[in-house]
Amino acid sequence: MIVNERDNREKQAWDIAEKMMVAARTAPKGKGVDIIECAVVDGDDKQRLADEMRAIAEEKGFKFFLRDASNVEAAQCVMLVGTREQAQGLDCCHCGFATCAERTPGIPCAINSVDVGIALGSACSKAADYRVDSRILFSAGLAAQRLGILEDCKQVYAIPVSIASKSPFFDRKAPAGK
């Protein structure tokens, strides 16, 4: 049997994205409470994500969403990492409120923010282990959050996964404007 690497990129990207989800899942969590959610999208769902990014660009005038939408389309798949909101009861004041009870609903618990950041770092580290091109995108994460891809999650970020001879995330030209 002969398998040409060019014919196998989609499968390899998915395999690595699945390993990235494992890395995100097993990353340390504040107080040991796991409220991280992960998913991978490709095909029509990936295109829906790019389309939503373009809609946000139009709505808010953020031109970098257009550049990032093209990056999402160029990737084989996109891994998503988000966190459900849950105050950890530490009264640490890192969210800006004196106690967890005083925190305004919708203001993220700082521990949740740290947890999603550590999970993202672990996922990107796993991609780097395989020398696969990736980049953390706030823009695609916001689009995924608006689409409800990770149910009940806030602070969603996206990591497009690309296997190509040249990274689509390098030498990115930002459109003029915001």
> What is the per-residue DSSP string for 114-171?
HHHHHHHHHHHHHHHHTT-EE--BHHHHHHHHHHTSSTTEEEEEEEEEE-SSS-TTSS
- Closest to 145 in 3D by CA, of 58, 44, 37: 37
Interhelix angle 110-129/9-26, nearest 10 degrees: 140
| Confidence at residue 99, expressed as pLDDT on a 0 to 100 scale | 92
Q: Taking the model in full, what pTM does it have?
A: 0.90
The pLDDT value given to residue 98: 92
Q: Would you state the CATH architecture of domain 5-162?
A: 3-Layer(aba) Sandwich (3.40)
**Looking at residue 57, what is its pLDDT?**
96
What was the pLDDT predicted at 66? 95
Q: In a structure prediction context, what are the per-residue pLDDT tens digits for the chain, which is 178 residues long?
A: 887 878 888 899 999 999 999 999 999 988 888 999 999 999 999 999 999 999 999 999 999 999 999 999 999 999 999 998 888 889 899 989 999 999 988 888 899 999 999 999 999 999 999 999 889 999 999 999 999 999 989 899 999 999 987 777 766 566 665 5
Nearest to 16 by CA among 78, 71, 68: 78
Give the three-class secondary structure for 42: coil
Q: Cα–Cα distance between 140 and 31 in angstroms, integer?
A: 28
Q: Which pLDDT belongs to residue 68?
A: 95
- Sign of the CA dihedral running 145, 143, 17, 111: negative
Per-residue pLDDT at 178: 59
